[in-house]
Amino acid sequence: MTISASCPALFLSAPASGQGKTTITASLARLFTRQGKVVRVFKTGPDYLDPQILQQASGQPVDQLDMWMAGEIYCQQKFYEAACSADLILVEGAMGIFDGDPSSADLAARFNIPMAIVMDVKGMAQTAAAIAAGLASYRDDVNVVGMIANNCGTERHRQLIEDALPDDLILMANLPRSEHVALPERHLGLVQASEVSDELEQRFEAGADWLDASGILSSITALAPVEFFSASTEAVEPLLKGISVAVARDAAFSFIYEANLELLRNMGAELSYFSPLHDHQLPTADAVWLPGGYPELHAQALSANQPMIDALRQFHESDKPVLAECGGLLYCLETLTDLQGDEYPMAGLLEGHGAMRGKRGCQGMQAAPLPEGEIRAHAHHRSRSSDTAEPIAFGKRQRHVAPGEAIYRSRGVTGTYLHLFFPSNPSAVAKLFRSGEEAEGVS
């Protein structure tokens, strides 16, 4: 018997990045939330920062959905679970509507979610309508129901766009430019929500008023419910029962998929959290996870916390597992040079030196072919490493034959620029967090 749940849903995409998708999605979530509605928001792709913003705006957990990294079954189940309790589901796209493989349009088409085109219309009028109409008709399996005109300066500007739209593509909202709703940014994207929580609250409320005044409510409330079906998923085995994992989590290390934590808990792991910035010792643990984040912004403080570095070195000498991803990798190298060119000693668990490199960087989907098994992942960084040891493997790029990110291993430490998505291979993850003979017993 197939089980389903229905809920109104809207997928917010755009012709390109930088059109205001996150601001509008967060403002829309807050507008409905303050009316007492339960709004579940999802983010397309592997993004860490946008979900932090969207979670604060909606007051609900936000999951990243990518049909390559997470798989269709995972995405299907997440939509179904959200539909069981939500009054509205919002999905924020990534990049442009058809960019990537799979793209935002692919995800929307697979789950029959109507789409709205968010577009910054500054400097154009009828042309904006033409672009929206072209996007709406580009694929037969994509249902684009409306356009949201961002930075729409005047009533005349709005009328020119609306009159040029085809009859089956409505102007859902025209939004004037507002300095009170824009979200703060830095070199890898938006600023972390925890750093500007109070400011974000003011911007969410201003954004909700901004959208409310546009008349968008009538378009959203007219959306028909979308039927989401439960997926047949295998029960998670308790492969980490009795294993304690210490997770670094603070302003320097915060790029953590909630799905990864959920999987560890479901496999029986006992999770504890610590701050490499502020704590002087590790929690009692069988394994340590150093996720990505912004260590380059806190390099001096990380370097100055010698008791924590000493604790990590002692843990390393015990040959217990340490997973160091991206920012965690930089912390485990010998030195880190920040954006100002200042060099600081780091933990030195792995050979090599890390350095920031401004606007140049690397990003993209890859699979990590670890000895424990292949785990899907992604890379997004603007730093480089040098004088490193010989890698044990390289990431396998999703759509390119060139070697991906290097994967290093020293005793129990596994270090890489890749951010692993644990649910893509629970068995491999369990082996990664178990040491020696214990890992050999995991099938």
* Kind plus residue range of the DSSP H or E element containing 260: helix 258-266
CA–CA separation, 329 vs 175, rounded Å? 42
**Among 7, 75, 152, 326, which one carries the catalytic annotation?**
326
| Closest to 80 in 3D by CA, of 38, 40, 35, 30 | 40
Provide the 3-class DSSP secondary structure of residue 235. coil
Q: Cα(23)–Cα(27) distance, rounded to whole angstroms?
A: 6
CB of 377 closer than 8 Å to CB of 367: yes
Q: 3-state class of 109 per DSSP?
A: helix
How far apart, in whole angstroms, are the C-alpha atoms of residue 193 and residue 195? 5
Angle at 63 between CA 57 and CA 64, to 5 degrees: 115
Crossing angle of the two packed helices 21-33 and 197-214, in degrees rounded to 10: 80
The neighbour count for residue 186, using CB atoms within 10 Å, is: 13
The amino acid present at 80, given as its one-letter code, is: Y
Q: Are 326 and 384 in contact (CB under 8 A)?
A: no
* Summary count for the chain: helices (H), strands (E): 14, 26
In this structure, what DSSP letter does residue 399 have? Answer: S
Three-class HEC string of 284-308: CCCEEEECEECHHHCHHHHHHCHHH
Chain centroid, CA 32 distance in Å = 23
Check whether the bond before 102 is cis (ω within 30° of 0): yes
Computed from CA positions of residues 239, 241, 243, 245, in that sequence, does the dihedral angle turn out positive or negative? positive
Query: What amino acid occupies position 342?
Result: D
Report the interhelical angle of 49-58 vs 21-33 (nearest 10°): 20
Question: 3-state DSSP call for residue 414?
Answer: strand
Catalytic, 326? Answer: yes
How many of the other CB atoms lie within 10 Å of CB of 330? 34
Contact indicator for 111, 225 with CB cutoff of 8 Å: no
Q: Which of 139, 148, 81 is closest to 110 using CA atoms?
A: 139
Q: Which residues are catalytic?
A: 326
